Structure 1
Amino acid sequence: MRRRIDDPLTENTVSLVTPFAAYLGAEALHGSGVLAVVVAGLVVARAAPLIVSSTTRLQGQAVWQMIAYLLECVVFALIGLQLRQILAGLHGHSAAELTLYAGAVTFTLIVVRVLWVFPTAYLPRLLFPGIRARDPFPPWQAPAIVSWAGLRGVVSLAAALAIPLTAGAGPFPERNLILFLTFTVIVATLVLQGLTLPWVSRRLRIAGMDDDLPWLEQATAEHTTARLALMRLDQMAAKGALPADVEQRLRRDLEERARKAHAMLGPGADDEHLPELVEGAVTAAASYSEARRELLRLEREEAVRMWRRGEIGDEALQALQRRLDLEEQQIL
């Protein structure tokens, strides 16, 4: 359906309806609505880069960020409002028993995650040379920090709240206990693992590793795609398919993108294997970003002054602000 829609508002409306359709369809088949929504999200996310337009994507990102934030607030508010009722339904369990259960479940989740992450990080590379060639063995610190970053949150709460109130003729057995344990596990992991995660990261000496890799990957993609587009532009120009002024404008924009990415990647950007991130490249990227943001700020201020003086109207101001906002989002 989304492949055949060419209207951002309609397509994003469909994207909002999709989770409900997946949930209701799975429930009608006596399946897990929560898992169906997760699978639907994975499938759509895999296909979205090929079927979603740029306008739809920009609009959808803003919409879904707001919705995700509101849903997280609503889910935590629901569990907070139900906590008194849940505790009242645990009259058959003592405080010591509940504490033991909560500690055992939390400890089990943390240990099982550690035992799962390390084999999944190294075993496929040991068994399959192709995977090992594309993605070499990571340092042990990487799976270690992933193991410790197993914080529980809204997904766990949503799964627990999806448990039906009744099972057959009677209430669902130990539903209040399941909700209580889910809530305590979330609080325990957020407090224990969440607050200690920066300390663990510093101790493992991998602080900043996650910040550098996306930056390097984005610069690599910018450089590669710009060079490919320049090659295609040369072919189009050789056939005389473009006016000279159009070709020059397109070439200027693509060459600027390629030069910027090349400066960030360093002199070895043309090699098959990218060099290590060097201090000079980081400094150049930071200087460029800082200077460009300052220029964008001046442009915005001048546009607002022109609008206040009545030299431009509301629509012109909004169009210019949107262009400047999009340009700022592209700064690495």
Structure 2
Amino acid sequence: MHEVTTEVTLVVVVGILIIGAVATIANRIGVAAPLLLVVLGAGIALVPAAPHIEVPPEVFLTIILPPLLYTAALKVPAVDFRRNLRVIGYLSVVLVAVSALAVALVVQAIWPIVGFAAALALGAVVAPPDAVAATALGKRLGLPPRVVTILEGEGLINDATALVLLSTAVAAITRAGNSDVEAGPLVGDFALAVLVALVIGALVGYATVRIRQHASDRAIDTAISLATPFLSFLAAEALHGSGIVAVVVTGLVIGNRSQMRIRATRRAQESATWGTFSVIVENGVFLTMGMQLPTVLSAVDAGERHLLGVVLVGLLLCAVLLVVRFASMPPLMWWLRGTAVRRRRDHERLAQRLERLDTTTKRGAKLQRAHDMRGHDIVALDDQRLGWRDMLAIGWAGMRGVVTVAAVQTLPAETPMRAELVLAAFVVAIVTLLAQGGTLAWLVKLLRLTHDGTERHRQELDALLGETIEAGIDAMQREADARGMDEALVEAAGERMRSRRAWAAHVAEVDPDDASTDVAQIARLRHLAVDAERRWLDQVRRTGRFDSSTVSVVQRIIDREEIGLQADEDEH
């Protein structure tokens, strides 16, 4: 038992070191880290002394996917998600279902022995795009914010649709003598799973924010954060809901409510914790995929099908998925245009209705808020209207990733032609990452799709900072009046707050990656000062010249300065 534990620990530690080294090399040479990890994992598996890695399917579903989706959901603004809910729903539900069905029909036509249930299971596995890489690249290239939001939202919700389809297909596979999937129960199960998940996810999210708001210790706060996605997932699954949808809803709630209710230092700590987890787990999945690749190839080669034939089927599925995705873009554009017309008409009707109402009443005030919110939505969506170039970018950004690789390994052992299906899914993930992910930057430049919103961003930043600072100054003034404080104190504090406005406006104008700007040079000087202060304080601590409690206070002051400096760099 001790030897097994030691071996597992050694494998995990070495795996983390490999992931860190490969990710660093990949960033320097401009190659996607997952592709290098797949190749390296396959090479490691061929070494005679290498351990055999076999991850139970339950690990992928209950340990890997929930925290990955939770981490992504924490970063999505609720307002942007709501405004683009129609597009996200279309891509995440309708397109995923159609893609899965198209793949199932093609696979069953080529391999009739597979059966429709297993073919649909493969379709569900390869249907959801993993938009993490696309959104990260899109932000660096300056894609329009609405396109980035749509890709982020799609990457969150489509996994839920796919996994509900997958679980239904797997249930049909495991039923003795029955490999058919009925459409009626499938739709009913999906609707019930989503409804339960929405309720559970929202309850867990609101409860977690409230509990963490009153947590007195950082360690406890971190522990609660680590347990949250698993609690949401398991609770929803226990009530026959979609654990994935519940996790996404929980992440959206916490990510948007915690900004006002949870301390900034703890949110920064949470972000760092989940960021580290995501990097290790996402890349670990691809490393594991590479280590399992020789075994899968051997199983396919030992069967009745030729290895090349299975690879060609995988390539055909890539083409099918791409055709279905691009074919869905024109109907989406027509639908959005019709929706925009109806939204403006409804907004005008509500405005006419408000003219006949007293907006000082509770009902009138509620309608006024709804009218104002819809007006802001119309302005924002009109300003970021989707055109054919946006649709081309969204269509091409449908590369598959960690969910495909993880989900296909959950197929039960009794699945017909399981090895062939796993290899086909691997081919889809690798080819789409290499072909579409590797050329997305070129396509964005070719379409001249980069979004230059510098001037508007500067104006909005200046206006928002001004309003926010004045709200803080008003609160200080009211407190000073209530307590009889000296007016000079309020004025001094207000001047200090207003000085932040000019500096933030200036920071917004400079290139954050240009080391020659005054902002970068000042940040460098501040880093040097903080490092020097730390070294000096360490020397003082060693001499014992000051009381340890006094040293601790100064240490906290330096830590706050460093946290603020790091926050500025992360923001810009």
Alignment check: 8 A CA contact 2:329 2:395 kept: yes
How many angstroms does 1:164 deviate by? 4.4
Residue 419 of structure 2: which of 156, 163, 176 is its match?
A: 176
The answer as to 2:317 corresponding to 1:74 is no
| Map of 2:304 onto structure 1 | 92
Residue 194 of structure 1: which of 422, 427, 437 is its match?
A: 437
The answer as to 2:313 corresponding to 1:65 is no
Going from structure 1 to structure 2, the CA distance change for 1:84 and 1:31 (only over 3 Å counts) comes to farther
| TM, length-normalised to structure 2 | 0.47
Q: After superposition, where does 1:159-170 map in structure 2 within 5 Å? A: 159-161=407-409, 163-166=410-413
Q: After superposition, where does 1:114-263 map in structure 2 within 5 Å? A: 114-117=326-329, 119-120=331-332, 123-127=335-339, 128-129=343-344, 130=374, 131-136=377-382, 137-161=385-409, 163-166=410-413, 171-207=414-450, 209=452, 221-239=464-482, 242-244=485-487, 246-263=489-506
How many angstroms does 1:119 deviate by? 4.8
Going from structure 1 to structure 2, the CA distance change for 1:263 and 1:59 (only over 3 Å counts) comes to closer
- RCO higher in 1 or 2 (8 Å CA, sep ≥ 6)? 2
Alignment check: 8 A CA contact 2:462 2:501 kept: no
Deviation digits for residues 210-237 of structure 1, max 9, x if unmatched?
A: 9998888666644442233234434444
| Map of 2:523 onto structure 1 | 293
Name the CA distance, whole Å, in 1 between partners of 2:533 and 2:386: 49
How many angstroms does 1:55 deviate by? 2.6
Query: Which has more helix, going by share of residues?
Result: 2
Structure 1 SS opposite 2:320: helix
How many angstroms does 1:206 deviate by? 2.9
Alignment check: 8 A CA contact 2:512 2:520 kept: no
Alignment check: 8 A CA contact 1:19 1:37 kept: yes
Going from structure 1 to structure 2, the CA distance change for 1:48 and 1:73 (only over 3 Å counts) comes to same
| Map of 2:220 onto structure 1 | 10
| TM, length-normalised to structure 1 | 0.76
Structure 2 SS opposite 1:330: helix
Going from structure 1 to structure 2, the CA distance change for 1:92 and 1:29 (only over 3 Å counts) comes to farther
Number of residue equivalences: 312
How many angstroms does 1:27 deviate by? 4.3
Considering only aligned residues, what root-mean-square deviation do their CA atoms show, in Å?
3.6
| Map of 2:80 onto structure 1 | none
Deviation digits for residues 28-83 of structure 1, max 9, x if unmatched?
A: 45555445444443444344334433232011011101111111132112222222
How many angstroms does 1:254 deviate by? 1.9
Gaps of 5+ in 2: 1-206, 345-373
Moved more, 121-130 or 250-259: 121-130
Letter in 1 for 2:567: Q
% identity of equivalent residues: 24
Name the CA distance, whole Å, in 2 between partners of 1:322 and 1:201: 40
Name the CA distance, whole Å, in 1 between partners of 2:296 and 2:220: 41
Moved more, 92-101 or 24-33: 24-33
| Map of 2:186 onto structure 1 | none
Letter in 2 for 1:4: I
